[in-house]
Every structure is written in structure tokens, then in C-alpha cells.
């Protein structure tokens, strides 16, 4: 039987370990000290602590962990917190968005990708893409970047740490990132449905629906009010976890990959995003743009299933399946 630690003996290390903190240094399997009266519930908890400590000790480090640690510490030593949170976040957002959009932009010139285009009858046009690009340049300069510049104040207000020692280990970062996506998707589903209300739609959300056959860079093509309202869901997870600046950046990477992917207009058989459990996918959101109704969630399938807002999509899939059979 395991002894249960007294409150004083539950050190920060144990609690920190349960939160998955401390990427930098691998902790040994700790002995939970102190002998006191053993009660069954506490005994189970103590066993759970030890089991978690054990599992934690088995998790391998990230590849090139030393290199990542040196790079992270170099950044901390050479830039202020304001520069890191503000310009680091702006730089990452622009770099990821432009790179991923460029990848999907090139798809239209690759012959082997053409069979994976979802709406075959609506190829990308230069006119639409140029219009989108101009609007995006304005939107990024006057809306997105000023909003992202608030990152420093957000991080400071919620006491989110920057240092390497406080960084959660990678499995916890992955779990927290997935949880951020679940919370954001819930926010997105309900606010998106609200934006489709007949009295609101034409004032705000109509902009995003201008192109019925989506293409990658259309992901952030939206009215400024929509950018603020839907974008607010991004902050829920980081506010709940207050985990680390790294979580904010990893979550930013994931969210941008996801939103550009679901707007890409292409559904190739190999897509790393499809390893994400319950991921709705490109066809799912593409249908929303084609049909204007249903499939209101962005990332996951469950909200549309719960509220039966995926019925038109299921019907569409059924009909298309039959057409392929004939
Ligand atoms: Zn919509
Ligand atoms: Zn969309």
C-alpha cells in the first residue's frame, strides 16, 4: 500500500508534474513521503499520482530537445517579453498563414491535384483570388495585426509564463492544444449559427460567403466584426490553461493549419490533419460554403451531429455516393 502525502508534503514538484510542467528537466520518479493513516480513496489517489509520475518518466523528449531549448533561451536572453509576445506572435501568424495559403494556391497548377478538387465545376479564378488578396492585405494590416499586437497584454494579464522550465512536456501541450480546439469549436459553432441568422447574415457573415467554392486564402476573408467575434474563441483555451507562451503559439499554428485546410477546396487522400480524432475535414466546410446552410462547426463533427445540422450534408453525401455507383 502506498502512503498518502500530507498537504505539506505534496510539493510543487508533484503538483507541477500532474500539470505536465517542466519540459526542460526530466524528473525522477518521486517517492511520495510521509506516513499517515491510509484511507481507501486517498490510497487510490496516491496510486494515481505514482502511476502518472511513472507514465511521465516514460515519455520521450521532443526530437532535438537541446537545440530547441537553446533556441528558446536565446530568444529569452535577446528579446524583451513585449517583443517576444507581440512581434513573435505577429511574425508567426503571417509566416504560417502565407506559407500554408501558398501551398494550396499552388495546387491549382498541379495536374495530379485536380482530381481532388471538391467542386469540380468551379475552378479558382484569378479575379476572385486577386480580390481576396487585396482584401486580405487590408484586413491583416488594419484588423488582424493590431489584434495580435494585444498578445503581450493578454499574456501578462493572465500571468502566462515564458521560461523554458515552466514549459509543459509535449504530450500535455498536445492535449491542451486539442482541448483549446474543442473549446474554440464550441464557441465557433454557436456564434457561426448566430451569424447566419437572417437579420444578421447580410450585415456581417455574407462577406465570408462571397465565394461559394472556397480556396485556401479565403480562410480569413471576413468582415472585421466576424474576425473579432469568431476570433474570440481562440483565446478561451489559453485563458483556461494559462499554461505557457508555447501553447499559445502551437495552438496558433494548429488553428491556422485547420482553417486554411478546410477552405482549401481540395481533399487529397493523404492529409496529416485527418489523424486528428473527430476532425470534420475539408469536404465538410466546403459543403457549408456551397450550401450556405448546415455544417456550422469548423473543426469537429459532434456539434452538427448533436443538433442535426449535418442532415443536408449527409443527404448530399448519400446522393453523390449513389451517382458514383452508377
Ligand atoms: Zn457560414
Ligand atoms: Zn468558411
CA distances from 152 to 83, 85, 147, 277 (A): 8, 5, 11, 32
Question: CB 238: neighbour CB atoms within 10 A?
Answer: 23
Contact call for residues 251 and 178 (beta carbons, < 8 A): no
Nearest bound ligand to CA 214? 2
- Centre of ligand 1 to C-alpha 289, Å, is 7
- Centre of ligand 2 to C-alpha 263, Å, is 6
- Centre of ligand 2 to C-alpha 90, Å, is 22
Structure-block grid coordinates of residue 165 = 522550465
Return the pLDDT at 28.
42
Q: Phi first, then psi: what are they for 145, rounded to 5°?
A: -65, -45
- Centre of ligand 1 to C-alpha 291, Å, is 9
- Whether the pTM exceeds 0.85: the reply is no
Return the pLDDT at 322.
82
Dihedral, CA of residue 83, residue 86, residue 87 and residue 93, to nearest 10: 150
Contact call for residues 38 and 3 (beta carbons, < 8 A): yes
Return the pLDDT at 37.
55
- Centre of ligand 2 to C-alpha 35, Å, is 58
Nearest bound ligand to CA 282? 2
Instruction: Tell me: pLDDT of 26 over 70.
Output: no
Mean pLDDT across the chain: 87
**What is the spatial distance between Cα 202 and Cα 144, in angstroms, rounded to a whole number?**
22
- Centre of ligand 2 to C-alpha 196, Å, is 12
Residues pairing with 168 in the sheet = 21
Q: Which residue has the cell 519540459?
A: 23
Q: What angle do CA 308, 311, 314 make, to 5 degrees?
A: 135
Residues pairing with 117 in the sheet = 266
- Centre of ligand 2 to C-alpha 91, Å, is 24
Nearest bound ligand to CA 219? 2
- Centre of ligand 1 to C-alpha 223, Å, is 12
What are the pLDDT digits (tens) for 138-189? 999 999 899 999 999 999 999 999 999 999 988 899 999 999 999 999 999 9
- Centre of ligand 2 to C-alpha 245, Å, is 28
DSSP one-letter code for 168? B
Structure-block grid coordinates of residue 141 = 494590416
- Centre of ligand 1 to C-alpha 238, Å, is 25
- Centre of ligand 1 to C-alpha 159, Å, is 35
Q: Given pLDDT bands bounded at 50, 70 and 90, which one contains residue 4?
A: very low
Instruction: Tell me: pLDDT of 261 over 80.
Output: yes
- Centre of ligand 2 to C-alpha 261, Å, is 10
Instruction: Tell me: pLDDT of 218 over 60.
Output: yes
Return the pLDDT at 17.
41
Structure-block grid coordinates of residue 209 = 460567403
Least reliable range by pLDDT among 39-53, 74-88, 97-111, 159-173: 39-53
Q: Given pLDDT bands bounded at 50, 70 and 90, which one contains residue 237?
A: very high
Q: Given pLDDT bands bounded at 50, 70 and 90, which one contains residue 202?
A: very high
The runs of H, that is alpha helices, within the chain are 12-18, 40-58, 65-78, 81-82, 88-107, 126-139, 145-148, 151-157, 170-195, 224-241, 245-262, 282-291, 302-306, 311-325
Return the pLDDT at 51.
83
Q: Which residue has the cell 456550422?
A: 296
- Centre of ligand 2 to C-alpha 326, Å, is 32
How large is the average pLDDT for residues 188-217? Answer: 94
In a 13 Å sphere around the CA of 45, the CA atoms on its Cβ side amount to 12
Nearest bound ligand to CA 293? 1
Amino acid at each position: 500500500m502506498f502512503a498518502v502525502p500530507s498537504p505539506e508534503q505534496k510539493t510543487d514538484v508533484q503538483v507541477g508534474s500532474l500539470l505536465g510542467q517542466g519540459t526542460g528537466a526530466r524528473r525522477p520518479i518521486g517517492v511520495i513521503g510521509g506516513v499517515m493513516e491510509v484511507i481507501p480513496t486517498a490510497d487510490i489517489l496516491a496510486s494515481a499520482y505514482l502511476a502518472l509520475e511513472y507514465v511521465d518518466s516514460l515519455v520521450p523528449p521532443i526530437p532535438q530537445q537541446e537545440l530547441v531549448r537553446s533556441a528558446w533561451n536565446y530568444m529569452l536572453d535577446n528579446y524583451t517579453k513585449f517583443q517576444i509576445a507581440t512581434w513573435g506572435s505577429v511574425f508567426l501568424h503571417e509566416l504560417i498563414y502565407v506559407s500554408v495559403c501558398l501551398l494550396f494556391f499552388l495546387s491549382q497548377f498541379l495536374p495530379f491535384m485536380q482530381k481532388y478538387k471538391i467542386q469540380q465545376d468551379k475552378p479558382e479564378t484569378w479575379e476572385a483570388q486577386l480580390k481576396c488578396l487585396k482584401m486580405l492585405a487590408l484586413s491583416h494590416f488594419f484588423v488582424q495585426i493590431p489584434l495580435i499586437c494585444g498578445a503581450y497584454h493578454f499574456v501578462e494579464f493572465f500571468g502566462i509564463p515564458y521560461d523554458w522550465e515552466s514549459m509543459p512536456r509535449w504530450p500535455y501541450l498536445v492535449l491542451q492544444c486539442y482541448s483549446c480546439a474543442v473549446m474554440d469549436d464550441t464557441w465557433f459553432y454557436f456564434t457561426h449559427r448566430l451569424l447566419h441568422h437572417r437579420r444578421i447574415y447580410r450585415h456581417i457573415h455574407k462577406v465570408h460567403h462571397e465565394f461559394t467554392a472556397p480556396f485556401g486564402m479565403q480562410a480569413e476573408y471576413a468582415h472585421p466584426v466576424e474576425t473579432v467575434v469568431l476570433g474570440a474563441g481562440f483565446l478561451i483555451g489559453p485563458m483556461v490553461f494559462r499554461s505557457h507562451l508555447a501553447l499559445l503559439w502551437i495552438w496558433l499554428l494548429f488553428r491556422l493549419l485547420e482553417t486554411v485546410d478546410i477552405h482549401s477546396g481540395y481533399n487529397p487522400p493523404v492529409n496529416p490533419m485527418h489523424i486528428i480524432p473527430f476532425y470534420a475535414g475539408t469536404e465538410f466546410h466546403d459543403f457549408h460554403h456551397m450550401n450556405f446552410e448546415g455544417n456550422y462547426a469548423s473543426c469537429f463533427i459532434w456539434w452538427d451531429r448533436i443538433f442535426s445540422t449535418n442532415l443536408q450534408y449527409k443527404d448530399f453525401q448519400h446522393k453523390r455516393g449513389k451517382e458514383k455507383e452508377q
